[in-house]
């Protein structure tokens, strides 16, 4: 949508709401000359493509390289600037699927593997639709020269985008139907007499009449558009998709052979190191190059506005040079007190105000209610904190650039880098190469810019890996939140009005196609972050109900413009959010805003249930209108052997270890995956230490592509969410971020008492597939908070639930001193 | 600012190398940049996460904070020195069988720390294993599967 190249929109693409994470899969033009990493090349070679195949036949693969080997990487950058190729059109089947002479299949996708298992799932999808063994399918992902532009791999959107009746899934179905039609002509048998299996089409009942895919189209183009009517295989016939296929990359990862971007080596490659400002908002006064003169291996000190870096022959040399380089900076802008930050956040002006929903009768209904309950929830800035600090390799020579980048946004990074480097976008190629798990916008985009700027300055390929501090102190954090909740309840204890007001800070974000200043490197190099546009008061909600940020709780009707899109029964509803300017860069962190909002909604729902003395499962079900959401709540409760009774438990003791359970649920993004969770905890009331013993999560994400992959995501999400809930918080002093390593930012290590995580998968094949990478993480903080309350009667309304904070809440229990 | 170079001999995954390097260089850079090995990774450079782990004399060592000069003539095993995709080491096989990773970036730390510990403490209890893994990080939080894989390897050894 925002491509400067005026993307063509395919009729097979659905337009989803414009959302921070969402991009319409616009299609950018593609160049004809490409190289790929040795691994990708080897994959193609295994798939049976020869160089001539590329040159002559494939609509998607047009490759001008000769020999394999790393030298090609260089060759590409030097030679790659030929005339722009024709626009590759994602409406064309050949842009997605190619079949080689030996019948092996290559699929092209713009949704890339970040560790979430999507490459294996996409291989399963293509293998299934084409009736070939998975081993005969190769996947090329997110190389701007040869893969379709599907925007950003994020927001749990890969499954909805590529596994329903459009894009990659539809390409598979189109290809199969085309092959069957061709076989029908070749074999002189009607289409309904043919069966495809193992890459061969046979006449039913006469196995001697057969033709293979390779014989039908091998090495040639299909030259047909994606069909809108081609029928996908029904789930009842799936033999590969829907099965717990092991990750294809697992053996290489487990044996240390996998090529991460950190392992990319190109001939003549140098090593860069950036020098970031010592304080937020500090600007460069001067750099004293004599401070590093004569250091071994030093190639160059690079300064571009406030961007400073060094390039050396070896990484250790670059690190030493960067450490010694004397740079003088202005003082920073000064930061608000960390201790009083939430008050500061709430009072920030100006703000941008948005009504997600407003029935305009909330004040009246609250005034009439039997009782009004309110509570405030606080959530800190948190970071992605990738285990590997971010890394990229760039080769910028003359007016051509190639960037090996772990970005989630290959095509946008291509455009952003072109702006940063002052090059025409068609001269820039981004080759997605896997990095450390990112969970959103970690340092991947910014380090790609770092490498590009440093490479441009020396005219040689440069690899940059950030230091731990540079990764942590300058990434785009998941945002802090202050959330005020209020409900009115009637004489029956039913909620009659829900009032939400939230504040969160913002600065920058994903750079998209045209905002390199949305991350630190772009800003240092002179590009502005996206402008903050205040808006007060909030206009009435327009269009349809959009709960993409889960800003509205599950329990409201979500009525906008006469149509109700919510999952609940509460008709009197007001959901008002304020964004204000952040001092730190912010951006999507796994379940952005949805996690923070859901923490507040699901804890508050528990508080209300407790107030009216109703079992929290029962109370939720009473206020839900959506059958699928209610179903996962029941499934989670059933699997956990939930004992129906109000919280807190009747026999709460004020000392010793106290055990309890809590529930929470969400329809992720308002339309992208149903999940419910039960957590069981023990609270040590002497220390405030919380031990999570068991987590049960039930999920309905439509048809399941790979149940083991889904479980892996649910487990990882639950534990990552637990780490965030119990210990993670970005801290700062009056000048700079102080969470700069694993001693100052607390991630649960492998050695903590890991709870059992049980997942209940609801497989529904009669609905569209939705995402499942961010469901469990969204609900875990509330499930734990509610379990702590159930165990002890103490309510924790601030993340993280550190022992000190839990202890303070325990001590604050009414009457607790008398009982101790 | 002159740096004194030294010749260091290392045996890495059974191959010997003689390297002319600044002896203060952390071993990690020698392995990943001079020898272009993919197993050990830079995670933090501070000895806090485990991503750079290698095995030296049977012990898990964090190569990011170990100057190469202290390891002259040492025998070093990296993750790729244990086994290959085709013939994985039993602990690697256990991780494959349990599908015990997401991004896989942390695996040198997880697998080699567990292996070194279990090889020296074959009868380790669950709490002891937990203790041994207490400074290893996985930010994808594949913990449940990883601990299962580690226990599977422990049982197979026992
Ligand atoms: S990279 Fe060595 S411990 Fe983190
Ligand atoms: S699998 Fe990604 S950090 Fe462990």
Residues A442 and A566 in one domain: no
Cα dihedral A739, A740, A742, A748 in deg (nearest 10)? 40
Q: What is the band of B157 on the pLDDT scale with cuts at 50, 70, 90?
A: confident
Residues B63 and B99 in one domain: no
CA dihedral over A441, A503, A748, A116, signed as positive or negative: negative
Q: What are phi and psi of A379, to 5 degrees?
A: -135, 135
Q: What is the average pLDDT across A44-50?
A: 35
Q: How far is A433 from chain B (nearest CA, A)?
A: 12
Residues B47 and B97 in one domain: no
Select from A455, A474, A493 the last residue of a domain.
Answer: A474
Residues B109 and B69 in one domain: no
Strands A298-304 and A756-762: unpaired
Q: Which two tokens stand for residue A628?
A: 């699928």
Q: Rounded to whole angstroms, how far apart are CA atoms A170 and A126?
A: 10
Query: Does A435 reside within a domain?
Result: yes
Q: Which of A389, A435, A437 to mutate to test the pocket of ligand 2 (most atoms within 8 A of CB)?
A: A437
Whether ligand 2 lies within 6 angstroms of the CB of B10 is answered as no
Q: Rounded to whole angstroms, how far apart are CA atoms A590 and A586?
A: 12
Query: Does B114 reside within a domain?
Result: yes
Nearest to B96 by CA among A527, A245, A553, A104: A245
Number of structural domains chain A divides into: 2
> pLDDT tens for residues A149-195?
888 888 888 888 899 888 999 999 999 999 999 999 999 999 999 99
Residue A9 has pLDDT above 70, yes or no: no
Query: Does A344 reside within a domain?
Result: no
Interface residue of B140, B145, B146, B148 to substitute, partner A, most A CBs within 10 Å: B140
Q: What is the average pLDDT across B86-90?
A: 97
Q: Which ligand is nearest to the CA of A743?
A: 1
Residues A467 and A499 in one domain: no
The whole domain housing B37 covers 6-81
Any chain B CB within 8 A of the CB of A87? no
Q: How far is B57 from chain A (nearest CA, A)?
A: 20
Instruction: Measure CB to CB from residue B45 to each of A263, A265, A467 and give the nearest one.
Output: A467
CATH of the domain at B131: 1.10.150.120
Query: Does B101 reside within a domain?
Result: yes
Any chain B CB within 8 A of the CB of A816? no
Q: Rounded to whole angstroms, how far apart are CA atoms A786 and A615?
A: 12
Range from A145-159, A248-262, A514-528, A650-664 carrying the lowest mean pLDDT: A145-159
Q: How many CB atoms lie within 10 A of CB B74?
A: 18
Query: Does A202 reside within a domain?
Result: no
Residues B103 and B140 in one domain: yes
Residue A734 has pLDDT above 70, yes or no: yes
Residues B75 and B100 in one domain: no
Query: Does B1 reside within a domain?
Result: no
Residue A64 has pLDDT above 80, yes or no: no
Name which residue leads in pLDDT, B19 or A72.
Answer: B19
Query: Does B35 reside within a domain?
Result: yes
What was the pLDDT predicted at B2? 61
Select from B48, B81, B114 the last residue of a domain.
Answer: B81
Whether ligand 2 lies within 6 angstroms of the CB of B147 is answered as no
Select from A474, A500, A533 the last residue of a domain.
Answer: A474
Q: Which helix (H) or strand (E) holds A44?
A: helix A38-46
What was the pLDDT predicted at A31? 29
Cβ of A253 within 8 Å of Cβ of B37? The answer is no
- Is the bond preceding residue A193 a cis peptide, omega within 30 degrees? no
Query: Does B110 reside within a domain?
Result: yes
- In terms of CA atoms, which chain B residue is nearest residue A253? B104
Residues A294 and A397 in one domain: yes
Residue A46 has pLDDT above 50, yes or no: no
Residues A523 and A594 in one domain: yes
Range from A95-99, A183-187, A392-396, A752-756 carrying the lowest mean pLDDT: A752-756
Residue A28 has pLDDT above 70, yes or no: no
Q: What is the average pLDDT across A116-139?
A: 94
Query: Does A211 reside within a domain?
Result: no
Query: Does B68 reside within a domain?
Result: yes
Q: Rounded to whole angstroms, how far apart are CA atoms A807 and A801?
A: 9
Name which residue leads in pLDDT, A812 or A82.
Answer: A812
Residues A548 and A561 in one domain: yes
Residues B149 and B99 in one domain: yes
pTM value is 0.91
Q: How far is A177 from chain B (nearest CA, A)?
A: 34
Q: Which helix (H) or strand (E) holds A286?
A: strand A284-288
What was the pLDDT predicted at A105? 95
Select from A421, A454, A474 the last residue of a domain.
Answer: A474
Residues A413 and A536 in one domain: no
What was the pLDDT predicted at A148? 85
Which residue's alpha carbon is nearest to atom 3 within ligand 1? B47
Contact present, A224 and A217 (Cβ < 8 Å)? no
Could you tell me how many CB contacts below 8 A there are between chain A and chain B?
200
Q: What is the average pLDDT across A544-556?
A: 97
Atom of ligand 2 nearest to the CA of A436: 2
- Cα of B140 vs centre of ligand 2, distance in Å, is 4
Atom of ligand 1 nearest to the CA of B43: 1
Residue A18 has pLDDT above 50, yes or no: no
* Sequence-separated (6 or more) residues with CB below 8 Å from residue A795: A375, A603, A607, A785, A788, A789, A809
Q: What is the average pLDDT across B43-49?
A: 98
What was the pLDDT predicted at A507? 98
Q: What does R_g of chain A's alpha carbons equal in angstroms? A: 28
Measuring CA to CA, how many Å separate A387 from each of A156, A260, B49, B102, B140?
Answer: 21, 13, 7, 12, 8
- In terms of CA atoms, which chain A residue is nearest residue B111? A254
> pLDDT tens for residues A359-368?
999 999 999 9
Residues B12 and B76 in one domain: yes
Residues A434 and A535 in one domain: no
Q: Which residues of chain B are within 8 Å of residue A723 when distances are taken between CB atoms?
A: 141
Select from B38, B60, B81 the last residue of a domain.
Answer: B81
Residues A428 and A503 in one domain: no
The whole domain housing A665 covers 355-362+479-811
A720 secondary structure, DSSP code: H
- Cα of A180 vs centre of ligand 1, distance in Å, is 54
What was the pLDDT predicted at A61? 35
Residues A457 and A565 in one domain: no
Residues A279 and A300 in one domain: yes
- In terms of CA atoms, which chain B residue is nearest residue A708? B99
Q: What is the band of B44 on the pLDDT scale with cuts at 50, 70, 90?
A: very high
Strands (E), A490-542: 495-506
Instruction: Measure CB to CB from residue B136 to each of A314, A751, A754 and give the nearest one.
Output: A751
Residues B76 and B102 in one domain: no
Q: Which two tokens stand for residue A32?
A: 């004809």
CATH of the domain at A803: 3.30.365.10
Residues B45 and B103 in one domain: no
Whether ligand 2 lies within 6 angstroms of the CB of B105 is answered as yes
Instruction: Measure CB to CB from residue A747 to each of B42, B95, B137 and give the nearest one.
Output: B137
Query: Does B104 reside within a domain?
Result: yes
What was the pLDDT predicted at A88? 59
Residues B77 and B10 in one domain: yes
Cβ of A387 within 8 Å of Cβ of B144? The answer is no
Q: Which ligand is nearest to the CA of B99?
A: 2
- Cα of A273 vs centre of ligand 1, distance in Å, is 18
- Cα of A261 vs centre of ligand 2, distance in Å, is 15
Q: Rounded to whole angstroms, how far apart are CA atoms A415 and A514?
A: 7
Query: Does B74 reside within a domain?
Result: yes
Range from A105-119, A651-665, B50-64, B88-102 carrying the lowest mean pLDDT: A105-119
Measuring CA to CA, how many Å separate A558 from each of A91, A624, A628?
Answer: 35, 12, 17
Residues 251-280 of A with CB under 8 A from B: 251-260, 262-263, 265, 271
What was the pLDDT predicted at A814? 66
Q: How far is B55 from chain A (nearest CA, A)?
A: 14
Instruction: Measure CB to CB from residue B102 to each of A115, A467, A754 and give the nearest one.
Output: A115
Percent of chain A beyond pLDDT 90?
A: 83
Mean pLDDT of chain B: 96
Query: Does A3 reside within a domain?
Result: no
Mean pLDDT of chain A: 89
Cβ of A254 within 8 Å of Cβ of B107? The answer is yes
Number of structural domains chain B divides into: 2
* Sequence-separated (6 or more) residues with CB below 8 Å from residue A724: A382, A595, A777, A781, A799, A800
> pLDDT tens for residues A567-606?
999 999 999 999 999 999 999 999 999 999 999 999 999 9
Q: Rounded to whole angstroms, how far apart are CA atoms B112 and A717?
A: 25
Residues A490 and A506 in one domain: yes
Instruction: Measure CB to CB from residue B135 to each of A249, A260, A749 and give the nearest one.
Output: A749
Atom of ligand 2 nearest to the CA of A115: 2
Percent of chain A beyond pLDDT 70?
A: 88
Residues B11 and B64 in one domain: yes
Q: How far is B156 from chain A (nearest CA, A)?
A: 18
Residue A8 has pLDDT above 90, yes or no: no
- In terms of CA atoms, which chain B residue is nearest residue A293? B1
CA dihedral over A335, A339, A342, A346, signed as positive or negative: negative
Any chain B CB within 8 A of the CB of A290? no
Q: Which of B31, B40, B46 to mutate to test the pocket of ligand 1 (most atoms within 8 A of CB)?
A: B46
> pLDDT tens for residues A521-540?
999 999 999 999 999 999 99
Question: What string of H, E and C letters represents the secondary structure of A108-156?
Answer: EECCCCCCCCHHHHHHHHHHHHHCCCHHHEEEEECECCCCCCCCCCCCC
Select from B52, B81, B110 the last residue of a domain.
Answer: B81
Q: Rounded to whole angstroms, how far apart are CA atoms B10 and B32?
A: 14
What was the pLDDT predicted at B64? 98
CATH of the domain at B51: 3.10.20.30
Measuring CA to CA, how many Å separate A780 from each of A483, A577, A608, A622?
Answer: 18, 23, 19, 22
Q: The complex's ipTM? A: 0.98
Residues B74 and B14 in one domain: yes
> pLDDT tens for residues A470-523?
999 999 999 999 999 999 999 999 999 999 999 999 999 999 999 999 999 999
Instruction: Measure CB to CB from residue A387 to each of B29, B43, B144 and give the nearest one.
Output: B43
- In terms of CA atoms, which chain B residue is nearest residue A390? B43
């Amino acid at each position: 949508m925002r491509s400067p190249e005026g993307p063509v929109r395919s009729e097979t693409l659905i337009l989803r709401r414009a959302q921070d994470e969402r991009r319409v899969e616009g299609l950018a033009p593609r160049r004809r000359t490409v190289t790929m990493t040795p691994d990708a090349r080897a994959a193609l070679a295994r798939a049976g493509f020869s160089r001539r195949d590329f040159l002559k036949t494939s609509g998607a693969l047009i490759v001008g390289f000769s020999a394999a080997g790393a030298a090609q990487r260089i060759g590409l950058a030097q030679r790659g600037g030929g005339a722009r190729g024709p626009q590759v059109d994602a409406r064309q089947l050949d842009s997605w699927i190619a079949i080689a002479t030996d019948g092996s299949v290559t699929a092209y996708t713009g949704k890339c593997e970040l560790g979430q298992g999507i490459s294996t799932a996409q291989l399963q999808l293509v293998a299934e639709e084409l009736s070939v063994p998975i081993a005969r399918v190769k996947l090329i992902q997110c190389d701007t020269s040869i893969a379709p532009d599907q925007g950003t791999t994020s927001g749990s959107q890969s499954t909805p985008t590529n596994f329903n009746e459009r894009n990659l899934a539809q390409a598979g179905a189109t290809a199969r139907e085309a092959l069957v039609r061709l076989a029908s002509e070749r074999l002189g048998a009607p289409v309904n007499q043919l069966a495809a299996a193992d890459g061969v089409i046979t006449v039913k009942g006469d196995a001697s009449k057969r033709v293979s895919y390779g014989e039908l189209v091998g090495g040639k183009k299909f030259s047909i558009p994606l069909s809108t009517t081609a029928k996908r295989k029904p789930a009842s016939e799936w033999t590969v998709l829907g099965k717990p296929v092991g990750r294809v990359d697992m053996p290489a990862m487990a044996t240390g052979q996998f090529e991460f971007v950190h392992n990319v080596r190109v001939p003549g490659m140098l090593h860069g190191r950036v020098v970031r400002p010592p304080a937020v908002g500090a600007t460069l006064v001067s750099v004293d190059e004599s401070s590093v003169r004569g250091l071994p291996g030093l190639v160059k000190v690079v300064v571009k506005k406030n961007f400073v870096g060094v390039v050396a022959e070896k990484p250790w040399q670059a690190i030493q040079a960067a450490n010694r380089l004397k740079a003088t900076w202005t003082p920073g802008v000064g930061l608000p007190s960390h201790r009083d930050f939430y008050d500061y956040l709430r009072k920030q002006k100006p703000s941008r105000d948005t009504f997600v929903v407003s029935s305009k009768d909330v004040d009246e209904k609250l005034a009439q209610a039997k009782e009004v309950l309110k509570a405030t929830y606080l959530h800190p800035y948190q970071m992605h904190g990738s285990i590997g600090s971010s890394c990229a390799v760039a080769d910028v020579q003359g007016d051509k650039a190639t960037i090996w980048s772990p970005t989630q946004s290959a095509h946008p990074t291509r455009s952003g880098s072109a702006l940063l480097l002052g090059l025409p976008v068609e001269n820039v190629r981004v080759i997605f190469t896997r990095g450390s798990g990112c969970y959103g916008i970690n340092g991947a985009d910014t380090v790609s810019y770092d490498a590009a700027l440093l490479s441009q300055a020396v005219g040689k390929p440069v690899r940059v890996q950030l230091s731990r501090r540079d990764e942590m102190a300058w990434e785009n954090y998941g945002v802090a939140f202050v959330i005020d909740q209020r409900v009115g309840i009637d004489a029956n204890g039913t909620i009659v009005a829900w009032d939400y007001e939230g504040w969160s800070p913002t600065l920058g974000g994903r750079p998209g196609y045209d905002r390199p200043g949305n991350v630190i490197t772009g800003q240092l190099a002179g590009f502005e972050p996206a402008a903050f546009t205040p808006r007060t008061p909030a206009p009435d909600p327009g269009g349809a109900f959009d709960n993409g940020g889960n800003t509205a709780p599950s329990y409201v009707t979500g009525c906008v413009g006469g149509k109700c899109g919510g999952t609940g029964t509460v008709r009197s509803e007001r959901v008002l959010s304020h964004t204000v300017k952040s001092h730190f860069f912010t951006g999507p962190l796994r379940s952005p805003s949805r996690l923070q909002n859901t923490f507040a909604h699901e804890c508050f729902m528990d508080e209300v249930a407790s107030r009216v003395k109703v079992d929290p499962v029962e109370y939720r079900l009473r206020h839900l209108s959506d059958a699928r959401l209610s179903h996962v709540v029941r499934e989670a409760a059933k699997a956990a052997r939930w004992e129906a009774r109000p919280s807190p438990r009747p026999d709460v003791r004020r000392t010793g270890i106290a055990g309890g359970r809590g529930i929470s649920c969400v329809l992720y993004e308002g339309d992208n995956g149903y999940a419910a969770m039960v957590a069981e905890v023990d609270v040590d009331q002497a220390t405030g230490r919380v031990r999570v013993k068991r987590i049960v999560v039930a999920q309905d994400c439509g048809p399941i592509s790979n149940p083991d992959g889904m479980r892996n995501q649910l487990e990882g999400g639950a534990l990552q969410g637990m780490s965030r809930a119990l210990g993670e918080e970005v801290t700062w002093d009056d000048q700079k971020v102080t969470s700069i390593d694993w001693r100052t930012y607390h991630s649960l290590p492998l050695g903590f008492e890991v709870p059992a995580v049980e997942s209940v998968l609801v497989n529904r094949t009669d609905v569209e597939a939705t995402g499942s990478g961010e469901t469990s993480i969204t609900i875990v903080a509330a499930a734990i908070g509610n379990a702590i309350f159930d165990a002890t009667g103490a309510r924790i309304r601030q993340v993280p639930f550190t022992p000190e904070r839990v202890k303070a809440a325990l001590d604050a229990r009414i009457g607790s001193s008398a009982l101790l | 600012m002159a740096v004194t170079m030294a010749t260091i001999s290392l045996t890495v995954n059974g191959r010997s190398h003689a390297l002319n390097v600044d002896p203060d260089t952390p071993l990690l850079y020698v392995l990943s940049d001079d020898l272009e090995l993919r197993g050990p990774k830079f995670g933090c450079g501070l000895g806090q996460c485990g991503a750079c782990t290698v095995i030296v004399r049977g012990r898990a060592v964090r190569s990011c904070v170990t100057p190469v000069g202290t390891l002259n003539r040492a025998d070093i095993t990296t993750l790729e020195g244990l086994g290959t995709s085709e013939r994985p080491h039993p602990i690697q096989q256990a991780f494959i069988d349990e599908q015990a990773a997401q991004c896989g970036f942390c695996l040198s730390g997880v697998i080699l720390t567990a292996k070194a510990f279990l090889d020296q403490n074959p009868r380790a209890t669950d709490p002891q294993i937990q203790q041994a893994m207490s400074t290893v990080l996985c930010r994808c939080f594949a913990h449940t599967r990883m601990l299962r894989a580690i226990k599977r390897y422990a049982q197979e050894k026992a």
